[in-house]
Amino acid sequence: MQLLVNGDPTTLSYWLNWRVFLCAIWVLTPMVIASFLIWKYDRSDNLKKSGEGRNQDENSSSLRNQSWKPCLKEVHPLFLMFFRMIAFCLLLVAVSFDVAIHGFELFYYYTQWTFTLVTIYFGFGSLLSMHGCFHHLKINNSRISKDTEQGLYVPIASEADGNGVKLLERFYHPGKSHALLPAGFWDNLFQALFQMTAGAVIITDMVYWCVIFPFIVLRDYEMNFLTVVTHTLNAILLLGDTALNSLEFQWFGISYFIILTGIYVIFQWIVHACVAMWWPYPFLDLSAPHAPLWYLVVAAMHVPCYGIFLLVFKVKHFLFSRWFPHSYQCRP
């Protein structure tokens, strides 16, 4: 639905008024706070995970393993990898068909940003899963072969920390302390992408089905298959990945979600400042009398939308830790 602007956003008078000033506060202030939270908590959390001394390699390896290992020990990492690959293919096909039919104007919508972001998430996750599974199998095979060849020559020590006991530990827990990636940058990026995507999916799908859909039904709007797919498939696949993966979901991860929305709004402002065109959403029009109120409401909606997914994650941890106490390997 294309909505014409009430005023000309390419003129200076459109931007020099109190409504724009208030809307800018509602957009920029959360972005500044979000950036501070990322710097304070995400940075300190990563430093805490990195550890010192001997535990540094183990903690770093554990952080990297979260991106490709399932949350249950009985689930093979290949299953998560194939799930992500299939999800990526489905989402990529949906995006391609949508763009082929409606054109690149779709990317003026936040919904399409979210859907594309979910596609990138599963594509990136597929690469990390393939990398992790490849090295996992390679390390296991090489260690088993090496330990088998040298097994007859390894002394069985009587002490609890003897070489024989260490050999058995390495044999039954291969690759336990092996660093799969040279650095944790890509895994941290994937973690941030997961938290950003989760909040964006909830807010787009909930707003569509709870707010927009009832109005278009009253107007006898004809639903098409791609519209339904765009507002359902991403959430279903992301929930499936959440049930399988070992990623964490911290409360301060909402910062990435807020920054994504802020970047989208600023992008819309820049586009409309250069070209007088329709607004993808009516509440973005800064010339509307209640624009500051709309901006404030949408900004406040980020908290419950992110909280819904955080609740889903807490429910997953609560159930899996009780149903599979010896298999579940995620932090609360």
Sequence-ordered alpha helix ranges (H) in 208-278: 213-218, 225-230, 233-244, 254-274
User: Is residue 273 within 8 Å of 8, Cβ to Cβ?
Assistant: no
In one-letter notation, the amino acid at residue 100 is: A
In one-letter notation, the amino acid at residue 19 is: R
Q: How far apart are CA 238 and CA 201, in angstroms?
A: 9
pLDDT score, position 72: 93
DSSP codes joined into one string, 67-93: TTSBSBTTS-HHHHHHHHHHHHHHHHH
Question: Which tokens sit at 28?
Answer: 């920029």
pLDDT score, position 152: 44
Q: How far apart are CA 306 and CA 43, in angstroms?
A: 21
- Domain residue limits, the chain: 12-323
Contacts 24+ apart (CB under 8 A), 165-171: 170/143, 171/143, 171/144, 171/147
Query: Which residues on adjacent β-strands are paired with residue 3?
Result: 279
CA distance between the termini of the chain: 42
SS3 of 245, please? strand
pLDDT score, position 54: 45
* CA distances to 10, 27, 39, 141, 278 from 20, in Å: 14, 10, 28, 62, 18
Per-residue pLDDT for the chain (332 aa), expressed as one digit of tens each?
A: 454 456 788 899 999 999 999 999 999 999 999 999 999 887 656 555 555 444 555 555 555 678 899 999 999 999 999 999 999 999 999 999 999 998 898 999 999 999 999 999 999 999 999 988 887 776 655 555 555 555 544 443 333 344 433 433 343 344 444 444 445 788 899 999 999 999 999 999 988 888 777 777 666 676 788 888 989 999 999 999 999 999 999 999 999 999 999 999 999 999 999 998 889 988 899 998 899 999 999 999 999 999 999 999 999 999 999 999 989 988 76
Give φ, ψ of 4 to 5 degrees: -75, 150
**pTM for the predicted model, two decimal places:** 0.83
User: Is residue 290 within 8 Å of 282, Cβ to Cβ?
Assistant: no
Q: How far apart are CA 288 and CA 274, in angstroms?
A: 19
- The upper half-sphere exposure of residue 284, i.e. CA atoms within 13 Å in the direction of its Cβ, equals 25
In one-letter notation, the amino acid at residue 61 is: S
Q: How far is CA 97 from the centre of its chain?
A: 23
Total residue length of the chain? 332
SS3 of 279, please? strand
Give φ, ψ of 266 to 5 degrees: -65, -35
Residue 43: burial class (beta carbons within 10 Å; 0-12, 13-18, 19+):
exposed
